[in-house]
Chains A and B, each alone.
Chain A
Amino acid sequence: MAECSDEAQAELSDKEKKDIAVWFLSNAPVGEISYVAKDIRALIGDDKLYDMAASEAFPRHNKAHLLILELPDRSGDVIITGHGEIGKNQYLEPRTAQVATVDHIKQVCTGLRPAMDDELPSPYIEEFRYALDVELCKYVAEAYPKGISAVYCTRGKDIDGPGNDFEFVAIISASKKSPRNFCNGNWRSVWTFEFKDETQLVGVKGKIQVAAHYFEEGNVQLDTKNEFNDSTIFQSPEDCAVQLTNIVRHHEYEYFQSLEASYLHLPDGMFKDLRRKLPITRTLFPWHNTLQFSVTRDISKELGIGK
């Protein structure tokens, strides 16, 4: 990132200012980009530059954080992700087969239309996609109070029968925003399923990211991620759907458990390694009487006290 040169009051170039704005916007925690936007707009002091930065940073941020937007006709929600990006600012909602037009900066859907046939998978592929979607939906409804999921065919959507490979990506996005309680967070899962005809296996790759931000009189952020690999046999659409969902359910549950374990380990492990609650003597530090300490602990040698 561009840094101010030491030649004192050298004004930043427009490009440097815009890059700084983009950096701040891109690093906004989930659900807070609008607050960061307000601040950086005031600091940049140039609406034209800010608009340029916003149009570059907002789409990236929305896609990275798997933003969920309600469809204009309230028939459901659309997840903003590169996997469902049909065209500029146009995102496919596979369950209802619609395409939403999105205003990234205002973070709303501005238009909706049915998807065209060439934007949708073939009936053969759709059978698999639909079965998986139904199973995943059930899982997401039980595991996440505010989770939304979608399954996209990212490769091979025009295949009309067995004998070929294809690939799906399933996305689970759950977020919670409580700005009045100074707390925001989200859970993002991206699962890739590679259906391989030759080996008759489905390869599974998963990536889960969890983030949380608490900022009442402070700034504390949790940022975690993990990746998973698994596989199952290539079977009928319904059997695949059940198996794949089981795999997802298993890994996600284990990951949640490991997060809890990390938190439980904190007080006695890492935290204690940094700073004890009390000295080993279990009493407060004797500020008025440190000479006693230094003699008994032989610190005087270390400090080289030479008064």
Chain B
Amino acid sequence: MEAALDLMRRIPPKKSETALNALLSLLPHHSSDLLSQIDLPLQVSMDDASMKEFLLCEYNRDADSYRSPWSNKYFPPLEDGPLPSEELRNLEVEANEIFSIYCDQYYEGGISSVYMWEDDNHGFVACFLIKKNGSKGGQDKRGNLQEGSWDAIHVIEVSPDEDGIAAHYCLTSTVMLSLTTENKTSGNFKLAGSIRRQMNLDLSMAEGHLCNMGRMIEDMESKLRNSLEQVYFGKTREMVCTLRPPPEGVQICLPGSRPI
């Protein structure tokens, strides 16, 4: 598995789907580990019952069908597909409503979905997904292309304490980002990447689970966004400057960054 995960960190991010399929066929006995530890950009489907789009992932899948968070139905229809309990479903509905407002505030568009399910230890797991496609609608008149996409997957394991006052939250977040521009002067410029972080917190349940989870996710997303922009993209830019230093010692690269 270690070898498989190392490979995923080296293969170009845009080819991760092909890479994961290859790994799945090489290691069929590790498929559930691979699927849970390796994330791919999210796919979208349409909930015909409520006429809304929803996101697909391992957590709302059963066989080849996916459960929509809006109508709680599987598409394509599935008999006996697992559903969350009524109590959890209520929380899930509220989470989807609030999260879609959050999504609108930060992403000004985009699609969100939240899925919850009970786990074995009297707690539950919630997964918050966002997909934003920033493409400027394909090529414009001058043949310029600008494409971008952001996929975020946040999985939170919630374990309430025995006393019922506080709970432990373990958040694992993955952000997958891709930016492509293409035009006559600068040719083809592609920057793509994914990062994954974890955060563990013990919080009082006074304001409710949604508040706690929401704040953790917001905090994590901001950190990941800044990290991607400054550190990750910054490092690749620094590499370009190292290969070919700008003339006259003009300091274009990040100040105070670790020398390569």
List residues of A whose CB falls within 8 A of some B CB: 1-4, 8-9, 12, 16-17, 20, 23-24, 27-29, 32, 35-36, 38-40, 42-44, 143-147, 174-176, 178, 181, 183-187, 208, 210, 212-215, 217-227, 252-253, 255-256, 258-263, 266-267, 270-271, 273-281, 284-285, 287-288, 290, 293-294, 297, 299, 303-305, 307
Contacts and interface: CB of A to CB of B under 8 A. Distances in A.
Interface string B18-43: 11011111111000000000000000
B181 A262 contact: yes
B78 interface: no
A28 to B, nearest CB: 6
A32 B221 CA distance: 30
A288 B244 contact: no
Contact of B239 (A147, A176, A275, A288): A176
Given A220-B233, A303-B100, A260 B246 contact: yes
Contacts of A178: 260
A307 to B, nearest CB: 8
Nearest to A38: B3
Contacts, number: 255
A279 B260 contact: no
Contacts of A266: 179, 191, 229, 233
A17 B179 CA distance: 32
Nearest to B225: A275
Contacts of B136: 273
B84 interface: no
Dominant secondary structure of chain A at its interface with chain B: mixed
Given A3-B25, A187-B244, A224-B189, A217 B197 contact: yes
Dominant secondary structure of chain B at its interface with chain A: helix
Contact of A256 (B15, B150, B246): B246
B10 A215 contact: yes
26 contacts: A12-B25, A16-B25, A17-B26, A20-B22, A23-B22, A28-B11, A43-B4, A144-B243, A176-B242, A178-B260, A183-B260, A184-B239, A185-B236, A187-B244, A214-B232, A218-B9, A218-B196, A220-B13, A221-B192, A224-B189, A225-B188, A226-B186, A270-B146, A276-B105, A287-B98, A294-B97
B7 A39 contact: yes
A185 B186 contact: no
B240 A210 contact: yes
8 smallest beta-carbon distances between A and B, as pairs: A226-B187, A220-B193, A4-B25, A218-B195, A185-B239, A258-B186, A279-B105, A39-B3
Contact of A280 (B8, B105, B148, B210): B105
Contacts of B146: 270
Contact of B9 (A215, A275, A303): A215
A44 B232 CA distance: 31
A276 B203 CA distance: 27
A290 B101 contact: yes
A42 B195 CA distance: 25
Contacts of B258: 181
A185 B179 contact: no
